[in-house]
A and B are shown apart, each in its own frame.
Chain A
Amino acid sequence: MTSTSKVEHFQPELGEQTTPTQDKDQVHRVLLGKKQILVTEDEPLLIQLERAGIHVEYQCREGYCSSCSIKLLWGQVSYPFEPLAWVQSGYLLACCAIVKSDIEIAFFD
């Protein structure tokens, strides 16, 4: 269940390139506008953003409705299970994506 079924990889345009690691305790930075949130690989992004007080749209929280789709500007995420929802290129599904490197995300412009 920890196998990586899909990895989205975008080259960082800003900042340093980071090397993804399998280390579970690894902490990554999530950049969102001017905010920076630290996340681990233990849980999907959505719940960690919520804990940081950031409202993210959701519905199913199981990868089948696409409501939690967020722009992934750069960085890597993976999905322990292939989501049923279509993942647009350049987007991630927050409810089931595991962050695998420092990433930058954005909501609607």
Chain B
Amino acid sequence: MSYSTFNRKHFDSMKEPMFFGENVNVARYDQQKHPIFEKLIEKQLSFFWRPEEVDLSTDRKDFQRLEEHEQHIFLSNLKYQTLLDSVQGRSPNVALLPIVSLPELETWIETWSFSETIHSRSYTHIIRNIVNDPTKIFDDIVNNEEITKRADSVSKYYDRLIEMVNLYNTMGLGTFHVPGKGDVEISMHALKKALYLTVASVNVLEAIRFYVSFACSFAFAERTLMEGNAKIIKLIARDEALHLTGTQHMLNLMASGKDDPEMAIIAAECKDEIRHIFIEAAEQEKEWASYLFKDGSMIGLNAQILGQYVEYISNVRMQAVGLDTHFETKHNPIPWINAWLVSDNVQVAPQEAEISSYLVGQIDNDLDESDFDDFDL
């Protein structure tokens, strides 16, 4: 069945499954099968922020004062996050919009993916501020082996689903020969399985893969270094916490069978595979921590502690989607991180401040009270 941008069929959208039912026609929200997705949209919109509102002027000086191995930690994390948000800024749209069947979920996917583009733009904001030649950093994302290894893991489920849906939309159900890939079977069961695995791998991306990087950013900020960056990471972490709830809802709704009975069967069949996706990602993140600290640790963090944190957070995320926990670590080894991750008191500079973001050095972040003595406030 080919995709239609405005499906002319008459059907009751309240009876459609989340995915692989009718293509959405009227974008209406007066009746909703799963109202949670509109609540997520509202929350996401209330979180709206712009990278340019965050003052990064002291970060440049801080960065120059970091030791070389600390600069490596900082830049490597930025590269990895840039990769993750490059994927997330497009893939939910490309992979999920052609197969979604509920208006509220369709709009959540678009809202979600849009917020990722803010994250991507914030990395450019950060990088332009600390180095003179951003190209070197961006180019390394497609060259650096440690990063490209990860690019493969985060994109392979999306890419497979997209390929299968393309075949389904042009050829329908059946087995098709794809040059270079051999025979690809397109059945409803195979499509739904590819979808379920994709949503799980996205949950892992947003709920686990970001957290090593978050921890490092906040560890710098604990030492009052790179505080503008930490402010941006707080805003990103707040968005990501909402995104992971979105995929947890999708996974749990699928597994419950309440949305689509066939999905419950697939979820049960895939249980081991899903566990494997979580565990493999956790192992990769632990390896990433070792790569970050290969030339030296930073105060308050080392590869071992970060590895334990990855295990701990993976247990939390596995439990949230109904999986048994896997790792031995039952306590958070860096409990101070939660005070940074908490969303209250996230403040950006007031909009009136008109911070001209890239004019480095023009904005003085170091004013203290006395500097305002002459001002009538």
Q: In the complex, which of the residues A64, A107, A108 contacts B245, with contact meaning CB atoms closer than 8 Å?
A: A64
B273, chain A: closest CB distance, angstroms = 20
Complex interface bits, A65-76 against B, C-beta within 8 A gives 1, otherwise 0: 111010000000
Are A64 and B242 also in contact (CB < 8 A) when A55-B335, A59-B342 are?
yes
Note all chain A residues with C-beta closer than 8 A to B221: none
Is there contact, CB below 8 Å, between A59 and B36? no
**Number of A positions contacting B (CB below 8 A):** 20
Q: Is the CB of A64 within 8 A of B335?
A: no
Q: Which residues of A contact B320 (CB under 8 A)?
A: 66, 69, 85-86, 88
Q: How far is the CA of A76 from the CA of B71 in the complex (A)?
A: 50
CB neighbours of A55 from chain B (8 A): 331-332, 335
Interface residues of A in 71-90 (CB under 8 A from B): 84-86, 88
Is the CB–CB distance between B341 and A59 below 8 Å?
A: yes
Contact of B319 among A59, A84, A108 (CB under 8 A): A108
Beta-carbon contact of A60 and B241 below 8 Å: yes
| B344 x A61 contact (CB < 8 A) | yes
CA distance A66 to B249 in the complex (A): 11
Chain B residues contacting A8 (CB-CB under 8 Å) are none
Q: Mark A43-72, 1 if CB is under 8 A from B, else 0.
A: 000000000000101111110111101000
* Chain B residue contacts of A84, Cβ below 8 A: 36, 39-40, 43, 242, 245
Contact A108 B315 (CB under 8 A): yes
SS class, residues of chain B in contact with chain A: helix
Asked if B238 lies at the interface with its beta carbon under 8 angstroms from chain A, I say yes
**Given A57-B316, A88-B320, A108 contacting B341 (CB threshold 8 A):** no
Contacts of A91 in B (CB 8 A): 319
B124 beta carbon closer than 8 Å to chain A: no
Are B245 and A58 neighbours in the complex by a CB distance under 8 Å? no
List residues of B (236-251) whose CB comes within 8 Å of A's CBs: 237-238, 241-242, 244-245, 248-249
Q: Is B343's beta carbon under 8 Å from chain A?
A: yes
**B322 interfacial by beta-carbon distance below 8 Å:** yes
Nearest B residue to A63, CB-CB: B245
Asked if B338 and A59 sit within 8 Å, CB to CB, the answer is yes
Q: Can you offer 22 A-B residue contacts whose CB atoms are under 8 A? A: A55-B332, A57-B338, A59-B341, A59-B342, A60-B238, A61-B342, A61-B344, A62-B343, A64-B241, A65-B241, A66-B248, A67-B316, A67-B338, A69-B320, A84-B40, A85-B248, A85-B320, A86-B248, A88-B319, A88-B322, A108-B315, A108-B330
- Chain B interface (Cβ < 8 Å from any Cβ of A): 36, 39-40, 43, 237-238, 241-242, 244-245, 248-249, 252, 315-316, 319-320, 322, 325, 330-332, 335, 338, 341-344
Q: Which residues of A contact B (CB under 8 A)?
A: 55, 57-62, 64-67, 69, 84-86, 88, 91, 107-109
